Amino acid sequence: MSSNRQESDSAIHEDDAGTVTRSLEERLVDSVKNHDGVSRRAVLGGLAIAGGSAIVGTGATRSDDDTNDSNDETMGFGAPGTYTEEQFDPHGFLREFNTGDSTNERPSRFGENDFGLNAGIYEENGQTVREFNFVAIPIEQEILPGISFPMWTFNGQVPGPTIRVEEGDLVRVNFTNAFPDMGHTIHPHLRNLNPRMDGTPQNGPGLIDSSESFTYEWQAQPVGTHLYHCHMLPLKAHVHRGMYGSMIVDPKPENVRENPRKYIDYHGPITDEVREMAAERARSRNMISHADYSPEGFDGIDEMVMIMNGFDTNFDGDNEVYAVNTRGFCYAPAQTDAFNGEWEAGETKHPIEIDRNELQRVHLLNMIEFDFVNSFHCHSQFFDYYDAGTTLFPNRKTIDTVLMCQAQRGILEFDYSNHEPGLYMFHAHQSEFAELGWMSFFEVN
């Protein structure tokens, strides 16, 4: 096939993907405007009626030229396909890792109300301390273009900030509750040796009440992809409203070389070759102390954080909207004239651009509430899976779907080195979740 023909086919497929996504998104937005009355059954029913025309690209989608009229049609909810708020960027969040280094602090999303998340890295009693400032605060955050949801947050965003530390570090979190009338905690999914630091209402300081503060201290162990969340009752409400985030603990290659069995799911003899292989894998997993580390990672590996979540917009105990990193369809095509990474400045919704020559490493977490399970499925490719990221050798190899209950997490590794450039879909393989927002694409270049 000629190069021109390939480019032409890619453009057609891009147009098709954008049309289908736009049709699903617009009907979902229309369905959840009335939070008091709509149910998931009603949302899915509306999508089913529209499904045939949407899939063949003949649905009643609005073109870019309809912006003024569509504002009236959406009752002031904004132009279709465009997120209006800029307080949270899922594309920025995807690759944003906070190590405590205040010199690399990103500009605050809240102007003068700067939470100063990264509070410093220093030595104390022979141990590295990574210090962070967390604030619990309620906000409104968009989950679909023009559709906001009342969130309970850490540092004004859902998911909360991603913390990245090294095994053996002391993680110090100065927590302040800025809610006017509600207590909160921070519970870490770590091997925590001090019950006072467990972040539950029954231990230590208990709930941190309005305008109160407390400093949590946790040992960074074990190695892996972990999470933190509020453990205040009713727990389902605090999780559903958004009080969760990820915490990555990187392995130290020297520790792995000294005691490899602690880090690998392998029962054979520990030869020098196995020892060095494990240490090399630890080196590639450690984005903090690696010589080539930068806030964007290092050459040859592209790391991302994806937190699967959902939102019960009418509070009937059943989610109407699903997403990865909070915004429905945020990693799907919206504008279809920007193939090969030429997205317009300020574009709020587009596929995840990846280099097919790089290893893709996804830290995947499930924080869904009101549904028993969630899943990740990628099209046209298979991945290796590291359960909770606690082993340096994969628990499962060459799979294309992984199932998770709430709080399960793991690392996925894959690449598209032998694939043609273009769009490759990934989504939940609970099909209704995909149609209700949890549908995404990689743009492979």
Which residues face 250 on adjacent strands?
166
Domain ranges of the chain: 90-285
Mean pLDDT over 415-443 rounds to 95
Query: Would you state the structure tokens that stand for residue 146, as one six-digit string?
Result: 């023009």
Query: Would you state the structure tokens that stand for residue 393, as one six-digit string?
Result: 């050798």
Written as one letter, the residue type at 261 is R
Query: Would you state the structure tokens that stand for residue 98, as one six-digit string?
Result: 């906070």
> Over 80: is that where the pLDDT of 124 sits?
yes
Mean pLDDT over 369-387 rounds to 97
Using only C-alpha atoms, the chain has a radius of gyration, in whole angstroms, of: 22
- Residue 415 — φ and ψ, nearest 5°? -150, 165
**Residue (of 338, 375, 363) closest to 353 by Cα position:** 338
Query: Would you state the structure tokens that stand for residue 236, as one six-digit string?
Result: 């389902």
Of 19 and 257, more confident = 257
- For residue range 288-311, list pLDDT tens digits in order: 876 555 545 566 899 999 999 999
> Over 90: is that where the pLDDT of 68 sits?
no
Q: Is 10 helix (H, G, I), strand (E, B) or coil?
A: helix
pLDDT at res. 292: 53
- The DSSP annotation for 190-255 comes to S----GGGS--TTSTT-SB-TT-EEEEEEE--SSEEEEEE--PSSHHHHHHTT-EEEEEEEPPHHH
> Over 70: is that where the pLDDT of 440 sits?
yes
User: Which residues are within 8 A (CB) of 151 and not within 5 positions of it... i.e. 6 or more apart?
Assistant: 138, 139, 140, 141, 158, 241, 242
Query: Would you state the structure tokens that stand for residue 337, as one six-digit string?
Result: 């004239």
- Per-residue confidence band for 82, with pLDDT thresholds at 50, 70 and 90: confident
Q: Tell me: cis bond preceding 188? Omega within 30 of 0 counts.
A: no
Q: Name the one residue in this structure whose structure tokens are 């102390």.
A: 289
Q: What percent of the chain has pLDDT over 90?
A: 68
Q: Name the one residue in this structure whose structure tokens are 């594309």.
A: 91
Q: Name the one residue in this structure whose structure tokens are 């090969």.
A: 340
**Residue (of 267, 365, 278, 368) closest to 321 by Cα position:** 368
Third-level CATH fold of 90-285: Immunoglobulin-like (2.60.40)
Q: Give the burial class of 14: count Cβ atoms within 10 A of its Cβ; 0-12 exposed, 13-18 middle, 19 or more buried.
A: buried
Q: Is 21 helix (H, G, I), strand (E, B) or coil?
A: helix
- Per-residue confidence band for 30, with pLDDT thresholds at 50, 70 and 90: confident
pLDDT at res. 51: 45
| Torsion-angle region of 126 (φ positive above 0: left; ψ -120 to 50: alpha; else: beta) | left
Q: Give the burial class of 341: count Cβ atoms within 10 A of its Cβ; 0-12 exposed, 13-18 middle, 19 or more buried.
A: exposed
| pTM of structure | 0.87
> Which of 3-7, 16-20, 166-170, 420-424 is the least confident region?
3-7
- Per-residue confidence band for 109, with pLDDT thresholds at 50, 70 and 90: low
pLDDT at res. 71: 31
Mean pLDDT over 331-353 rounds to 68
What is the C-alpha to C-alpha distance for residues 162 and 328, in angstroms, rounded to an integer? 20
What is the C-alpha to C-alpha distance for residues 147 and 9, in angstroms, rounded to an integer? 34
Mean pLDDT over 262-272 rounds to 92
Q: Over the chain, what is the mean pLDDT?
A: 84
